[in-house]
Amino acid sequence: MGAAYWKPVQSGTADGDDDTRDVGRWAGLAPSRLHPPRYSLGAPLAPDQAAALEGLRLNLADFALPPGPGPLVVEGAGGLLVPLNERETLADLFAVWGLPLVVVGASGLGTINHTLLTLEAAQRRSLRVAGVLLSGPHIPKTGVP
């Protein structure tokens, strides 16, 4: 696709989590196509909780899409309704940017419900969904109607 990658908030860095590094390696992206997170938070918690432990409060105004030519893939942090603070969620952030969403879910038990709830949350907020991607092992049909 020639896209750049950005994850605005990364938590769990104290445990070695670094999605930017991992995505860059997996996708073979040049370092110039990788944008560092606006916030890298140590605790492996939701952004609002990890930020609070560091004495921070995240706000929508803290985030701006990184400049650059071509498409940009922006990764959320756990789902649309994950809180950034006591009032705002990642859905609010994506609404500000007006970017189309690709909903990604794991191909396992609970995925249908989780995915449909995410799509409903996006629809209620008038977020445009470009597609749905299920990631993980193939689950064969059982023959049950």
Dig out the tokens for 76 from the structure: 């959320």
141 among known catalytic residues: no
pLDDT in tens, 26-54: 999 999 999 999 999 999 999 999 999 99
Please say whether the beta carbons of 78 and 70 come within 8 A. no
Q: Please report, rounded to a whole number, the percentage of residues in the chain having pLDDT higher than 90.
A: 79
Give CA torsion, residues 71, 72, 73, 79, to 10 deg: -130
Statement: residue 145 has pLDDT above 80? no
Please say whether the beta carbons of 36 and 63 come within 8 A. no
Dig out the tokens for 119 from the structure: 């799509």
Please say whether the beta carbons of 103 and 75 come within 8 A. no
The one catalytic residue among 5, 6, 7, 76 = 7
